[in-house]
Structure 1
């Protein structure tokens, strides 16, 4: 099979994963000409065993998984890994010049920048091999890799915008934690039957996440199409500010429900837009770390919500106003939202959004403000253009949602992505985030309406401690997620989260009459331990994993579905926790989520492939392994781990995704025909 075709005029940096048979090539395109940039060229070769033997070591051999159609799709996806692969420097230089002139960027300096940028875009790390660069340009390109956080001030402004936008969301989620201690009594939520009280409290809490899952997330695409990335962030933060203020003026539980439901229009589209905006403006060397910071700064906002609860806790009611303290808590989240609104338009718009509107001159202007020189800007803009052209050439179907399910490679990515999103909620983290004050207040034997101010303050202080730990331990995840790996992080942290949940639940059995301080301390300790392991594992992994698991042509649809999933189950947790705690008791309720952590560990072991450090074409190989093969492989890792790390036996790891030169190909299961 390998001797049938060969790839000509292809640099050694091009992955052999793009090699396909002539029949697969014709099946994809129906002609022999290269229809889009970067398409490989094929040439018939006579069978030559010596030739094949000489070159086999340089080829990553595909496993014999998948049909011919699936392999063809993998080859089509592979061209998205680098659409410029296979071109000579002179061809790229001319393409850059033509691009600049075609899109009315004909200034001599700009034309030269695109000529240099097109050559750089093929393999950016090999900037020293590109002829014609000035010493100053070479110094900037070298500094880009040596000091990756050395960026123009405009890029730092974008980082601040994305961080504050994440903090707005976190604060929107948690100011209600302390406010509900007071408003549920004022609104009569805690009167009547216990069942009614629990369901009303859960309904009010879950309102914004219900809106996100049902409506808010699905507004992301039209909002971005109409208003751009900055406009969407501005509008959603306006929604957040208005609804936060609105919540401070309500006087009934159903009025509070409506105000909080409207808050979902501010949370949903923003949660999907900000990571996209960060990815489209950041240079490649910091893109992953910047997108990762969404979770870290959301955790900061969660902590800041608890700070607001503590700050306004002791505010006394003036004449004519009942519940001023909780009203200020609920309204306080508007300040961060207003801050974002004030400076969002001082940041440049996403160049990719301008390109989608065919405004290449504005895209270039925007990119220039985000890079140190025009050559850098031209490089990134031209590469972005070639990716868009390659995506446009993907003719795999009309309905991308159907493609997610119908194409086996996409379906396996969907299963893994939805799994980690589901477990992000059903590990129980937001039970603590939304109800920690109620949980800590429940450590006494008194009715919640009879609690002293001291107990309420202690509960809010314990909640603040949880929020601070959740934020601080999200910082190491920026480094561990790319070194330890996504799957390994989850397999390590899920058992620890289960133990923390069991410890928290069992702490409620500590006698409450004489040891209430010990009881509160143990419960707080259990939730703090949970926050530590969650923040480095299941906290940052789901959004990162979902963003990279899908092929580019369905990535936005896959991310929209993943975001809707997390908000749907977020809503489910928020609405059911009060009733679950009443029905199961705190011990049973926390054990319920500990049990889900154990279930999640088994599901991740069997159904979640590792994506750390994989290129796009390598991810196609990873997700082309049939689900049953990966599940069996995951189960076999248990005895392997025991023998390797417990019994200290020297055994080789099993090869699943790609060739290992130390293992015979036939033993590894590769198709060498």
Structure 2
């Protein structure tokens, strides 16, 4: 039996781009919170007279709190919709930034950081899910990469904020850095209400008329909109010839029963999807990116960069990440997820091994400067960020958001994000301690080893999803189709 293919125009719909850009604003705020903390920690440590353990806890606690946000966001997004969930995340960010900016002691600062962490969990779940659900198959890769580009923009803005405000009085500098984030947070909380709701969520609620209206706006042709609606209705269990604007669904669609289908009684395809999502989220941070983003100044200090140049070196990291993630988005739909992923991780193995070697030489030289090793440390640090940004960074969010079946997507994505934040927290809260125990070079050799495991996992467990509609993903993750789906590049019929 011939499979039905979605009829889509190759052009990217401008309205869907605008919607995804607005949704990605929440990722910019999250990225800013991550990037600004890198330099703020240096100032906060001096202001509150903190030790390395307190700094590690403050830096990493945002990720443990993000677990709460991530595990809550999926159910909330299924209940109130994707759009209102983005607005809620913005309000949480606003409160967290406000508390951190006016903190008078370590405990209050810690509380504000936790609030921001809950917002992080919401942002990491809802921005990719909304972007995936609003996009057409042919351009889903580039549009659903926009939240990751947003994170990179935010990180870079955080680094720039560090550099611009570092010379203010000590009791003002880091406060201003945090308070700046309140402005876009409240703006997005209001502005996101002008966006349309996800058409897939609307169909799950039985609002076919509203979904049809949204699809007509985010599709280039009437035929494409009808074809997309047809596939969504079949995925939800609505007869394709149903023309009612509102229908009553037999099954609950507010997110109830999803955990059982994901964790207790998953079908073989869902079990494989969950394994792939958990694996890609785990390896994104187990390979060390948070160590570079959060503790860049520490690494550059070890590499011999002078104190007055640390923040500039950090800006270089942020700029590298943004440039290469942006470049990679134009190839995700052409080259495919799997090819970029394996290339990216392969390059990371080489870069991390060289970085570990160079930092080991610097460490063993003690007070004697080994110039070539210093330069190699800096170059390989940037090279590692480059390879991460062309594949593993953006594809983690695209891949994990598109592979779950519609009913399971929001809460399935929240499980992946929870694993992501737990791994991130573990790395960020143990990195300084591990460098003391096994040296900073040894820590990056450990990340190189994790990258090898990541490459093996992606090779065997992550089939290609390029060219497949969201409603076809269960077929992609069917064991009987594994051999032909590992490298499949099924084209969609283009008008």
2:64 to 204, 210, 219: 210
Query: Structure 1 pair 486/305, CA: closer, same or farther in 2 (3 Å)?
Result: same
CA gap of 1:548–1:231, structure 2 versus 1, over 3 A, is: closer
Of residues 310, 313, 323, the one that matches 2:163 is: 310
Could you tell me how far apart the structure 1 residues matched to 2:313 and 2:153 are?
A: 16
Whether 1:583 and 2:442 are equivalent positions in the alignment is: no
Higher relative contact order (CA 8 A, sep 6+): 2
Alpha-carbon displacement from aligned partner over 1:576-598 (angstroms, at most 9, x marks no partner)? 11111111111111111111112
Question: 8 Å contact 2:159–2:314 — kept in the other structure?
Answer: yes
Contact 2:464–2:486 (Cα < 8 Å) also in 1 = no
1:330 maps onto 2:330 in alignment: no
Q: Which residue number in structure 1 is paired with residue 325 of structure 2? A: 474
Instruction: Check if 1:149 corresponds to 2:4.
Output: no
Measure how far apart 1:309 and its partner are: 0.8
- SS at 2:196 equivalent: coil
Unaligned runs of 5+ in 1: 1-6, 8-13, 16-81, 83-121, 126-143, 191-196, 445-453, 631-654, 661-673
Unmatched runs of 5 consecutive residues or more in structure 2: 240-248, 489-495
Shift, 1:467, TM fit:
0.7
Residue 271 of structure 1 is matched in structure 2 by 124
- The structure whose Rg is larger is 1
- Is the Cα–Cα contact under 8 Å of residues 621 and 657 in structure 1 kept in the other structure? no
- How well do the aligned residues superpose, as a CA RMSD in angstroms? 3.2
Question: Taking structure 1 as reference, are residues 507 and 222 closer, same or farther at Cα in structure 2, changes over 3 Å only?
Answer: same
CA drift of 1:552 comes to 3.8
Quote the residue 1:486 is aligned against. 337
1:530 is displaced (CA, Å) by: 0.2
1:32 corresponds in structure 2 to none
Q: Secondary structure at the match of 1:550?
A: coil
| 1:521 alignment counterpart | 375
Cα distance in structure 2, aligned partners of 1:580 and 1:257: 23
Offset, 1:473: 0.5
**1-structure distance, mates of 2:22, 2:135:** 13
CA distance 1:605–1:232, shift in 2 (3 Å): closer
Contact 1:443 1:512 in 2 (8 A): no
1:174-323 paired onto structure 2 within 5 Å: 174-190=35-51, 197=52, 199-213=53-67, 215-315=68-168, 317=169, 322-323=170-171
Alpha carbons of structure 1 residues 455 and 329: separation in structure 2 relative to 1, 3 Å: farther
Structure 1 residue 380, shift from structure 2 partner: 4.4
Match of 1:604 in 2: 458
**Which residue of 170, 180, 196 corresponds with 1:348?**
196
Could you give the per-residue CA deviations for residues 396-417 of structure 1, whole angstroms, max 9, x where no partner exists? xx95434435432322222222
- d(CA) in 2 for partners of 1:547 and 1:234? 20
Q: Structure 1's 381 and 599: CA in aligned 2 closer, same or farther, altered over 3 A? A: closer
Q: Is the 8 A contact 2:353 2:444 kept in 1?
A: yes
Give the secondary-structure state (helix, strand or coil) at the position aligned to 1:149.
Answer: coil
Q: Distance in 1 between matches of 2:22 and 2:338?
A: 30
Tell me, yes or no, if structure 1 residue 426 matches structure 2 residue 280.
no
> How many Å apart are 1:331 and its aligned residue?
2.3
When residues 625 and 530 of structure 1 are mapped into structure 2, their CA distance, relative to the original with a 3 A threshold, is same
Contact 1:187 1:251 in 2 (8 A): no
| Residue matched to 1:384 | 232
Cα distance in 2 between the residues matched to 1:280 and 1:620: 16
After TM superposition, the score normalised by the length of structure 2 is 0.85
User: Against the structure 1 CA distance between its residues 504 and 461, is the aligned structure 2 distance closer, same or farther, given a 3 Å change threshold?
Assistant: same
Alpha-carbon distance in structure 1 between the residues aligned to 2:77 and 2:383: 39
In 1: Cα distance, 2:21 partner to 2:210 partner = 22
Q: 2:218 and 2:475 mapped to 1: Cα distance?
A: 34
Cα displacement (A) at 1:658: 9.5
**Distance (Å, rounded) in 2 between the aligned partners of 1:266 and 1:481:** 28
Distance between the aligned counterparts of 2:420 and 2:74, measured in 1? Answer: 18
Query: Is this contact kept in 2: 1:431–1:573, CA < 8 A?
Result: yes
The structure-2 alpha-carbon separation of the partners of 1:217 and 1:659, relative to structure 1 and needing over 3 Å to count, comes to: closer
1:138 equivalent in structure 2: none
- 3-state DSSP of counterpart to 1:474: helix
* Aligned-partner SS, 1:541: helix
Please name the residue that 1:449 is paired with: none
- Give how far 1:158 is off: 1.3
Normalized per residue, the structure richer in helix is 2
Deviation, 1:457, is: 3.1
CA distance in structure 1 between the partners assigned to 2:333 and 2:345 by the alignment: 18
Superposed displacement of residue 366, structure 1? 4.2
